[in-house]
Amino acid sequence: MTAYGDLDYSVIDELPPGRQPINTVHRYESHRSKVMDFIRSEIEKGRQVYIIFPLIEESSKMDYENLMKGYENVKAYFPEPKYWISMVHGKQPAEQKELNMKRFVEGDTQIMVSTTVIEVGVNVPNASVMVIESAEKFGLSQLHQLRGRVGRGAEKSYCILLTGSKLGNDARERIRIMTSTNNGFEIAEKDLELRGPGEIDGTRQSGALNFRLASIVQDRSILEIAKNIALELLENDPDLVSAENLQLKKFLHYKKGPVQWSKIS
């Protein structure tokens, strides 16, 4: 939409006042005990921690950690009554979810074990650590959104991407990007490059976009110029009647195959 001029947009290129850069690190499953020790040290400083899991239930096709098993593992590292843990996921009744969230927001629990339901809309300035389990299973946008749940207070904040030892090329690249930048614009562009933008005149929302002449990411500045020329043309000669635009009108009129406007993504 932004590339083709059908959407006005604003660019906000700075963080809200008081936000600090978040230190993002990658750790393998074999380092779990050290990660838990770090979490314990942050809790002892009075901080709070998010631990995010990608699944709620076991799946025969997916062998990575799920929320329920993860919750029990976290309880083993942080037993009551010294530590208190909230758990939130999408299958909970609304009242239970709200109560567990409220307990964490008010500081009654030190750890929030959750799925991505806390991706947006949760603001706990005292939370200083975001641990993302099976981080290789998340997309860049999700990872960046989840990381944004911390770093909202005055204290130094951390995002720990916990993965298995075997990573595919795309997953490894996503981890590399997350640990190298906090810039949402750079992350969004890399996400677009990795996933592909899909079809303009179709329903596919990811994958290669086979432009003959341009790349929607690398040639953004050229596309911006083309968009401005098109807008100027529509303003000055919408019916393409001037001599200089007759060739364009002829091309559009005889273009092979109708455009399926109803299938615009």
CA distance 84 to 56: 20
249 is in which domain, residue-wise? 220-257
Which of 152, 182, 212 terminates a domain? The answer is 182
Q: Do 58 and 111 sit in the same domain of this protein?
A: yes
What is the model's pLDDT at position 63? 45
> How deeply is 264 buried, as exposed, middle or buried, from its count of CB atoms within 10 A (0-12, 13-18, 19+)?
middle
Which of 182, 202, 230 terminates a domain? The answer is 182
Predicted TM-score (pTM) of the model is: 0.75
Which of 163, 182, 201 terminates a domain? The answer is 182
Per-residue pLDDT reduced to its tens digit, 160-199: 999 998 898 989 999 999 999 998 888 988 888 787 766 6
Q: Is the peptide bond before 81 cis (omega within 30 degrees of 0)?
A: yes
CA distance 11 to 22: 21
Tell me if 107 is assigned to some domain: yes
Q: Output the domain CATH number for residue 77.
A: 3.40.50.300
Q: Do 174 and 251 sit in the same domain of this protein?
A: no
Tell me if 204 is assigned to some domain: no
- The answer to whether 129 and 161 have CB atoms below 8 angstroms apart is no
Find where tokens 């799946």 sit. Answer: 59
CA distance 67 to 204: 31
Q: For residues 149-162, b (16+ Cβ closer than 10 Å) or e, as one string?
A: bbbbbebebbbbbb
Tell me if 149 is assigned to some domain: yes
What is the model's pLDDT at position 60? 46
**3-class state of residue 51 by DSSP:** strand
Find where tokens 């989840």 sit. Answer: 146
Pairing of strands 85-88, 111-114: parallel
What is the model's pLDDT at position 91? 80
Which residues in the chain come in under a pLDDT of 50?
Answer: 60, 63-64, 265
Q: Do 160 and 247 sit in the same domain of this protein?
A: no
Both tokens of residue 263? 């299938």
What is the model's pLDDT at position 102? 92
- The answer to whether 191 and 141 have CB atoms below 8 angstroms apart is yes
Q: How far apart are the first and last CA of the chain?
A: 9
Q: Do 148 and 248 sit in the same domain of this protein?
A: no
- The tally of domains found in the chain comes to 2
